[in-house]
């Protein structure tokens, strides 16, 4: 087992993290968003990839998702823990809440979304009925429980195009479609991992209400404040999950 975390640049500030180095990787789809960071937490090594680049400068619709996932496969990654900052669409999922979604509705468009399209690789139709790895989801939820963190189990992630936020009418549509969370980066990241046989699950941090759900406008300052206050819980939960996964994959002597 080799674990990777894919997320925002704020994760580089993990408490108690020992960064061991960086590795540039070239794929047949180009370069990934950034060099792959190797970190060690509680004696467990893992790979970290900032999907928006080291300076958080790559918009969601311009991320080279195929290069990112291909690079992780090339260095032997078998499990990906994705971190996503999202908007909340239900009363239970206000700013600061964490969730481990179970389903995805993809509203994005124009992104290179497959290794199996008959050009990048042989044409194939992967089963995507359950877009997230059930064992990996359960490990995230078990870690949250062990740490005493409330974490929403399940829900539907709506992946929009970005980089703009949604209109109030679009949010009402997503709610009518049965979505609980809205973000911009779950797809095609999740399906590319599925095509390469990499287990994939998402830990979402809700950073704002969906547009029109409150009278207050959505501001980047407020989103930044929620990110800053919630990222420590995200880091602790990921650290616990990485340690638990490493223990379950350790050989019995």
User: Residue ranges of the domains in the chain?
Assistant: 3-249
Return the structure tokens found at 150.
Answer: 């409330």
- DSSP class of residue 10 equals G
Q: Structure pTM?
A: 0.94
Residue 234 half-sphere exposure, CB side, CA atoms within 13 Å?
32
Classify burial at 169, counting beta carbons within 10 Å of its beta carbon; exposed 0-12, middle 13-18, buried 19 or more. exposed
Q: What is the pLDDT along the chain (253 residues), one digit of tens a residue?
A: 999 999 976 676 777 788 899 999 999 999 999 999 999 987 899 999 999 998 889 999 999 999 999 999 999 999 999 999 999 999 999 999 999 999 999 999 999 999 988 888 888 899 999 999 999 999 999 999 999 999 999 999 999 999 999 999 999 999 999 999 999 999 999 999 999 999 999 999 999 999 999 988 899 999 999 988 899 999 999 999 999 999 887 554 3
3-249 belongs to which CATH class?
alpha beta
């Amino acid at each position: 087992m080799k674990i990777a975390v894919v997320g925002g640049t704020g994760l580089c500030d993990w408490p108690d993290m020992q960064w061991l180095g960086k590795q540039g990787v070239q794929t047949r789809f180009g370069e990934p968003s950034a060099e792959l960071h190797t970190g060690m937490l509680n004696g467990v090594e893992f790979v970290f990839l900032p999907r928006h680049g080291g300076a958080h400068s790559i918009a969601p619709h311009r991320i080279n998702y195929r290069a990112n996932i291909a690079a992780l496969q090339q260095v032997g990654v078998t499990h990906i823990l994705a971190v996503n900052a999202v908007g909340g669409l239900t009363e239970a999922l206000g700013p600061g809440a964490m969730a481990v979604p179970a389903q995805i509705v993809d509203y994005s468009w124009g992104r290179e979304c497959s290794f199996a399209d008959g050009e990048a690789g042989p044409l194939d139709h992967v089963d995507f009925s359950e877009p997230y790895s059930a064992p990996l989801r359960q490990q995230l939820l078990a870690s949250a429980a062990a740490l005493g963190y409330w974490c929403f189990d399940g829900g539907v992630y709506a992946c929009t195009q970005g980089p703009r936020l949604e209109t109030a009418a679009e949010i009402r549509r997503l709610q009518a479609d049965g979505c609980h969370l809205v973000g911009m980066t779950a797809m095609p990241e999740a399906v590319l991992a599925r095509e390469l046989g990499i287990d994939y699950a998402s830990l979402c941090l809700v950073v704002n209400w969906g547009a029109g759900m409150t009278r207050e406008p959505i501001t980047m300052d407020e989103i930044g404040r929620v990110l800053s206050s919630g990222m420590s819980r995200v880091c602790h939960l990921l650290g616990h999950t990485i340690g638990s996964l490493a223990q379950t994959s350790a050989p019995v002597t």
